[in-house]
Structure 1
Amino acid sequence: MPPSHDLPGLGPKSLAMLAAAGIHGRADLERIGSVQAYLRVKAAGQNASLNLLWALEGALTGEDWRVVAREERTRLLLALDAAQDATRR
């Protein structure tokens, strides 16, 4: 896993969850996006809360996860719901 400065705001536990899901750095996260990364972490059996989704988006945008949770919550939850619906079909 890359150093944490590659994915700002993510600590060792979050990085370990990403690694368990086959996401090994910023390039992987940028390629698949925060929502799909979150879904992969969950599919890998990791016990991730929505705080991880906020932190993943924050790592991509440079925003603090708390700002993301406050300002981007609805957009991310709608994207998460749409992605989950797509996988059910």
Structure 2
Amino acid sequence: MSKLSDMENIGPTLEQRLINAGITTPIELRKLGSKSAYVILKEHDIDACINTLYALEGAIQGIRWHDLADDIKADLKRFADSEKK
């Protein structure tokens, strides 16, 4: 798996948004983790939202973001809300 779009939840649009933010490979995304990648992405893309964060976490875990555990979604939601301040 060499392209971001090979990962679950990452289509061509999100892949390009990540590349524009300097995250260019699945390895880089996994090393950063979803929260750090989200922060970097938000610096370059004001349209990044909670669903983007869920998609990133799902991509790292290799699952559809809809299938993330409720406690993980709640943690990510708290994190995203804290980034708004």
**Fold equivalence (TM over 0.5):** yes
Structure 1's unaligned 5+ residue stretches are: none
Distance 2:81 2:30 in 1: 20
3-state SS in 1 of match to 2:37: helix
Give the aligned length: 83
Distance 1:67 1:28 in 2: 23
Q: Map of 1:19-58 to 2, 5 A cutoff?
A: 19-58=19-58
Instruction: Please give the root-mean-square deviation of Cα atoms over the aligned residues, in Å.
Output: 2.3
> TM-score normalised to the size of structure 2?
0.79
Residue deviations 1:58-87 (CA, integer Å, cap 9, x gap): 01111211122x6221122334456x4xxx
Q: Which has the higher contact order (CA 8 A, sep 6+)?
A: 2
Structure 2's unaligned 5+ residue stretches are: none
Distance 2:81 2:35 in 1: 10
**Paired-residue identity, %:** 30
